[in-house]
Every structure is written in structure tokens, then in C-alpha cells.
Amino acid sequence: MPPLTRFAPAPTGYLHLGHVVNALHVWGLAKARSGRVLLRIEDHDRQRCRRQYEAALLDDLDWLGFAPDVYPTADFRAGRCDGRQSDRHAHYARAVEALAARGLVYGCACTRREIEEATAGAPDAGELRYPGTCRDRGLPLTDGIGWRLVLPDEAITFDDLAHGPTTQTPWAQCGDLLLRDRLGNWTYQLAVVVDDLLHEIDLIVRGDDLFASTGRQILLGRLIGRESPPAYFHHGLVMQTPTQKLSKSDGASGVRDLRAAGWTRGRVLGHAAHLGGLIPEARDLAIADVPGLFAR
């Protein structure tokens, strides 16, 4: 079946070349398979997201020629939109209520520093692992504390379209999953899993920095009623240094800065395609040529 995938930037800064590389993969893989692309604005973090960044990324997507099939940019400019996470609070609340009714959600008063201190000396797994300190404390699900999901100690196996068969054990990686933070924000892990289920996303195309999240998202999806997980394709990142991925603070990579410097759309697309390893040398690239980069 033709896939439905999504392009899902967070409006915490301006669109940069790393986003363009992801968009090339998203639109290219979808259109090469006669699929569709949904645009999602992941602004669940109310403290870091800004509407001016959303407006700028919508303008950049239009200029680059990436046209969503579901929730086009005009839908976001018109006001409330089901593709914007800050407009979907009720969906996340219902999902957590259903989990809590099964005894799978508990309150957590731990700060990040306390978690770091509690796990000091533990083997470095590359991310902070919550050790379950508050699991049996019986704290209420109120404002001012985190809400966590009880994760089973279970291995999850999936076949990534880029990396092949993989097994992950979310409990060993991250511990009980945070669903809502101390400031009342729904977390990335919860929001994307709920959205991917309700939007019927069946192909997720994203960078390797989110590869480790796959097992926990498959597990959470199962707990909220997703019978079979979507397919996953994780691609390489554009790196600012050998150990640091490109960030939104790197002005030299910002689409709006390149536009201001006189770069054409074709030059930006071709440069991003080269950085993403899709073409051997940078050259002008037309948006209509993108699916051909992923032809089977």
C-alpha cells in the first residue's frame, strides 16, 4: 500500500540544512512509493517553541517546494490545526487517562539532578536512565510533578528499513518513560506515538539521533492500542562536528540565511542532498527530481 509518512519539525528555531536532509528523505521515500506526506508541528514544549519559528518554517517549506498532502501550510496559518501538537491536548490526556486506569502511570517528584545522582556509577548507556525511584511511592498525578509510565522489562525487535533487524530493551535504556513533565508539557515520546496512531502514519522517516527511541515508541504504541507498529527508516545526520549534529543555532546552515545570501532553491536542495549522501557532488536539484533519488 502507498505509505503515509510525516515531516515533523519542532518550532524551537529556524529550519536548517539538517531539516532539509530529513525532508528530502521524507518526501523522496513517500513519493517514490506513490505515498503521501503529513505535516506535523511538534510544539509540545510550550517553554521552548515559538510561533515566529513556526511561521518561518512554513515559509521555508513553501519556498523549498515541499508541499504536504495532509495539513498543508495554509491550514496552520488559518489557526487551529490538528497537525499542531499544542492543539491536540485532549488526545494526549485521553491516552494517559486510559493508561492510568490500568495502573500503568504514577507520579514522579525526581529532578534531573536527583536522577543523575541516583544513577552515578552505573554503566554509561548513552542516555539518562530513570531507576524507578517513585514507582511505589503512590504520588498523585497532579501539577508540579512528572507522570511516568511503568515499562515492562521486555525486548522489542523491529526491522529498520535502513539498519536492518534490531533489538532494543526500553526499560534498560531509559527506565520508566516520562509522559508529562513537571511543567505540564506532554513529552515528545507520548505525543508522537499518540499522533502517529491517530493520524494513521505507517512509515516513519527520521534521523539516526532518534533510533534509540524506536523500541520504546513501539512498546508505548502497543499499550495505547496500536496493533502493529509503523515501518521505520532512520537516516544519517548532518554533523556540525564529528560528535555534534547540526543545530538550529548554527546560522550558516539556516535556510532563511542561505536565502538571504542569494542561494536558489535548487542550490539549497542540491547542497542538502550532497550533505545527506544522496548525490555524490553538490549540484542544483529540482523538487521534482527528489523521488528519483529513492527509486527502487
Axis crossing angle, helix 17-32 with helix 265-275, rounded to the nearest 10: 90
Distance CA 40, CA 84 (A): 6
CA distance 241 to 273: 18
Compute the mean pLDDT over every residue in the chain, rounded to the nearest whole number. 93
> What ranges make up the beta strands (E) of 114-238?
146-149, 156-160, 164-168, 177-180, 203-207, 231-235
Helices (H), 73-207: 73-77, 89-101, 112-118, 170-174, 188-198
pLDDT of amino acid 250: 52
The whole-number pLDDT of residue 120 equals: 77
CB–CB of 156/169 below 8 Å? yes
Which residues does the chain have with pLDDT short of 50?
none
Determine the pLDDT at residue 119.
Answer: 82
List domains and CATH numbers for the chain: 4-87+237-294 (3.40.50.620)
pLDDT at 253: 80
Cα–Cα distance for residue pair 199/42, rounded to 1 Å: 14
User: How wide is the angle at C-alpha 226 spanned by C-alphas 36 and 82, nearest 5°?
Assistant: 50
Residue whose C-alpha is closest to residue 234's, from 153, 168, 148, 172: 168
Say how far apart CA 110 and CA 91 lie, in whole Å. Answer: 26
pLDDT for the residue numbered 295 = 85
Give residue 17's pLDDT: 95
Quickly tell me which residue has 485521553 as its cell: 94
pTM of the model: 0.93
Cα separation of 54 and 76, whole Å? 9
Give pLDDT, residue 248: 53
CA distance 278 to 57: 23
Q: Which residues contact 72 (CB under 8 A, 6 or more apart)?
A: 39
